[in-house]
Amino acid sequence: MLDVHPAHHAATTWRDFFIHIATIVLGLLIAIGLEQTVEYFHHRHLASEARAQLQVERTSNETSNEFNIFATRLHEKYLHRDLAILHALRDHMPVSAGPFILRHARYLYLEDEWRKIHQSGTVTYIHGNLQPTAYRYENQEAFMARADRSIEDLYRAAAVLRSESDPLNNTIDTNVTFSNFLKTIADSHETLSDEAVERGFADSAEPSDVSRLTQAQRDTLEQAIQVALVDDDALLTYCFNIKRNLSRNLNP
């Protein structure tokens, strides 16, 4: 804030008085103008930085969305095969080849910058229509919430596959290996062969033999898989909403 100091001598005439008042008013206007100019450029700087960071976040989320489409479609494929295995066991038919895979991989959507500009108030300095961006973040949040719930429900239902004889093979090394495998899929832009993808996910297949389950247990697991397939359809809808939004809106 700039300080405006009045003259050190008292006004002796009306003319001096009005000059004195005009000097103070002019000084205040100049001070206010300078302060607003500084704030204007500061706000422009904040808005420019925010847009740049949102663009980085947008690029990352676009990659995540493409991976989530790929991974959710793959999850549906594996769940359909799981159902075929369960149906074959129910009907006493030969079991189809392939591991029993329930795992659903997905990439997180970033939202730190979007939250930051709202919490700091910087969003008020960004010109343009941010409604499309808000819609995209809403779909990303909805995807993650439903994916978390769906995965938890499916894994809980799959508890019938657990037994005291299951190998304890979940280690930091297997975790890092699977994480690197998912990154390879994303970096390859889904050009890995079906065989390579199958091998990578086969390491996360259920270790137990589903044939040892009772029919009631298989029925419970079958119902959970069917619900998971419905969830996957909803997840893909969120992903397609995000993909369409990204293609139609160039703003962060």
CB-side exposure of 93: number of CA atoms within 13 Å?
9
- pLDDT tens by residue, 195-209: 889 888 888 888 888
Supply the pLDDT for residue 11: 55
**Mean pLDDT for the chain?**
86
Q: Is there a contact between 114 and 64 (Cβ–Cβ < 8 Å)?
A: no
Task: Name the residue among 212, 119, 224 with its Cα closest to residue 163.
Answer: 212
The phi, psi pair for 209, rounded to 5°, reads -90, 115
Q: How far apart are CA 183 and CA 34, in angstroms?
A: 51
- pLDDT tens by residue, 87-114: 999 999 988 777 899 999 999 999 999 9
Q: Is there a contact between 104 and 143 (Cβ–Cβ < 8 Å)?
A: no
Supply the pLDDT for residue 102: 94
Neighbours of 79 (CB within 10 A): 20
Supply the pLDDT for residue 9: 55
Listed by start position, the domains of the chain span 57-248
Supply the pLDDT for residue 5: 53
**Residues in the chain where the model's pLDDT stays below 70:** 1-12, 17, 31, 33-43, 169
